Structure 1
């Protein structure tokens, strides 16, 4: 695997068949995302089974990510779309009250009226419509339309800069979470995470169901940005969800925030995903725009662990071409180097200091290979966050779940291998596996790092071995 940057693809009507799932995996997808905002339970369960089957056919460790809807605010159902012009008045009201003006719809969050004030900006449908809140009552708000456009049913509402007193998990989220655990999800993403307590609540709810998934915190609003350090520290992975975040903050600040969050994730030792609209034009076009190529290049140059495709693969016309484009762009920029944020990792314990020493050793040896022996994947993730220069970075673990959870981590190729009580035997079997795949040659230097205990190999140890 020459490409270090991992790829997450979203399944949908365009990619739900076993054949297409197989093609996405063959093309370079590492993680399959199921967007629970649009996924019926039977469909999500069947997609999980299909991903597992297609992965097994290829002896590939492909993770499944269940992306929860989160506490989003949406408009109600409309008999007909509203065709709005500048200056129109639109009412958003509680579901239990009657309209007071012709252009009126309900909202699914009855606490909205208590959170907003006159003069706040209200954004509908990911920026398609901008409105100004003119009047706030106990049961409704009246807005002035500032940009013309069409408003349909169940459109998403953003309120930039407004602190919303929404719950961390909705009733739907709890049901979707139970399904994710039942399906053996490898990752569960919490949407609209605003502070560390929200991440903790999601993790505790999952563990109460005896789930073992890792938690992805989606950063989507200004409050999450203000609490970013605490969120990073408690999460397994951060997702920079640029769709909602780009609405919540001034658009010229978004690239700066992206870079700042990626850098901080490196420093604090948490993996990071860059998501949303990477190849948006390819939903309908066979090639990316030059701006999109530059955007993807920039995220890969920042050395994010994973990049994510959403509508491009779920409903787009050219899902395979999208995967191919990401792979080509990421692979090309990786040959030019990266930002080097891995040098800024804050070393807090002995394990991280061992990881740093191992990376320094491997980087100093021409054509070195890197092997990590790990039971839970923790040490492998620590090493990956330091961004070793080698393209040959392999993790061996007895657990299939750990192999899949490492599929999101930049630069690692994971192998399942039972560990012997004799560490030399384990090393020899790992080396033999790489020989069979022609990944090492006789005499190749191999830096081996372990966080497992054995008779001859202490935890957090480094060994220099030759194939």
Structure 2
């Protein structure tokens, strides 16, 4: 039984060598993420080249995801970190304002003072420190430290429950976006997506550059949760980004939110990634904690399309062992079944209903395989969202990009196949490809579903065939 849950890893100093990238592909990595919050352009360009070369050497379809920084709020540079005690007063000011107290830093968002209110909570460094906004001026705010800690340079700031008037894309994002299109990125992730208009703005920017990347919307704050249905419907993929999201909500709410988001993505037919701190202890340690094993198992049990590693593989000491851990845990939990959210998909058109019929048929036949013929990947994604139980689920498409983009879709193995002039010949080519790969044997039941038009095969058609 092949692994169904896909794996996304973040490249960094620990994994940038081409040999290591090849090893990560061999171990089961499906998507490589380039975090533009930390990446220089030339480095990102070279990493994209290395991923493509390593994948081509192995005849694997592997995707590249550029993750934009987004409109994040960060503190300024400090000569040395502040050691903050409970009760200390800290100043956050515009870059043009002069310091007024000893513990002071700038912020990169001049509109902060207009958006916040006295008495609200300010969170620094992904929840490391909590502060209360005591005084607000036109050019600065003064906050009281509520939890002690160390505050260094360029630390991230969250403001739970506060509506921030940040742009969807910064100038840096637009520069990074142009690089992503130049590198033929398969996916581009928008950070701090707050509504459907942000998704549309990112998609229009990609299309204006004539890029073919699909859009990943990162859910990171309460406003995104309030607008979640519209965001899901306007995007290609949702990422449950538990780092920032976990600072925006009470921590006991996070598991409930994760499950709710995964289920809603199933219902509305969109792919979903679970990300952040899945194996955080493995940045230092060679084995995961038991809690981390359970966390990964839960995400696989929820039947998320993909699990994503960040620091574990970008700067961690054991990146290969991290991928091995995800593979082992996912394989094991998948043998027990899943939550069955695929039964909750809302079928809105004939294509989705045809996909449901195909999945019902293949699941009813012992040892049957499911084949999807697709030009753009749409039917393949619709079918995958219904979570077929078959151990063999294959998509055939004439386009390399579609093969790579299906690397993020749960359970699918994609093959590039030029479509013949007749559907019969296309089917025979597909079956021969599977035979050569030793994936089907003579007599294996094959359920073939397609939304392509031909003389003998209508759109949204299902065919039962035997290899």
TM-score normalised by the shorter chain: which range applies? over 0.9
Q: Calculate the aligned-residue CA RMSD, in Å.
A: 0.5
Query: Hey, what's the Cα distance between the residues in 1 that align with 2:111 and 2:235?
Result: 28
Query: Hey, what's the Cα distance between the residues in 2 that align with 1:187 and 1:3?
Result: 22
Q: Post-superposition shift, 1:459?
A: 1.1
Q: Which residue of 2 aligns with 1:69?
A: 69
Q: Which residue of 1 aligns with 2:47?
A: 47
CA displacement, residues 128-170 of structure 1 (integer Å, 9 cap, x when unaligned): 1111100000000000011111100000000011010000000
1:78 pairs with 2:75: no
1:328-407 aligned within 5 A: 328-407=328-407
1:435-450 aligned within 5 A: 435-450=435-450
Q: Post-superposition shift, 1:79?
A: 1.1
Query: Hey, what's the Cα distance between the residues in 1 that align with 2:305 and 2:397?
Result: 20
CA displacement, residues 323-342 of structure 1 (integer Å, 9 cap, x when unaligned): 00000000000000000000
CA displacement, residues 162-205 of structure 1 (integer Å, 9 cap, x when unaligned): 01000000000000000000100000000000000000000001
Query: Hey, what's the Cα distance between the residues in 1 that align with 2:438 and 2:45?
Result: 37
- Give every structure 1 segment of 4 or more consecutive aligned residues whose post-TM-superposition deviation is greater than 4 Å: none
Q: Post-superposition shift, 1:437?
A: 1.1
Q: TM-score, normalised by structure 2?
A: 1.00
Query: Hey, what's the Cα distance between the residues in 1 that align with 2:36 and 2:440?
Result: 42
Query: Hey, what's the Cα distance between the residues in 2 that align with 1:343 and 1:88?
Result: 53
1:252 pairs with 2:264: no
Q: TM-score, normalised by structure 1?
A: 1.00
Q: Which residue of 2 aligns with 1:222?
A: 222
1:67-466 aligned within 5 A: 67-466=67-466
Query: Hey, what's the Cα distance between the residues in 2 that align with 1:431 and 1:437?
Result: 10
Query: Hey, what's the Cα distance between the residues in 2 that align with 1:173 and 1:352?
Result: 35
Q: Post-superposition shift, 1:80?
A: 1.3
SS at match of 2:9: strand
Query: Hey, what's the Cα distance between the residues in 1 that align with 2:428 and 2:162?
Result: 58
Report how many residues are paired.
Answer: 467
Query: Hey, what's the Cα distance between the residues in 2 that align with 1:391 and 1:308?
Result: 23
Query: Hey, what's the Cα distance between the residues in 1 that align with 2:211 and 2:294?
Result: 38
SS at match of 1:193: coil
Query: Hey, what's the Cα distance between the residues in 1 that align with 2:358 and 2:81?
Result: 60
5+ unaligned residues in a row in structure 1: which ranges?
none
Q: Post-superposition shift, 1:233?
A: 0.2
Query: Hey, what's the Cα distance between the residues in 1 that align with 2:414 and 2:284?
Result: 35
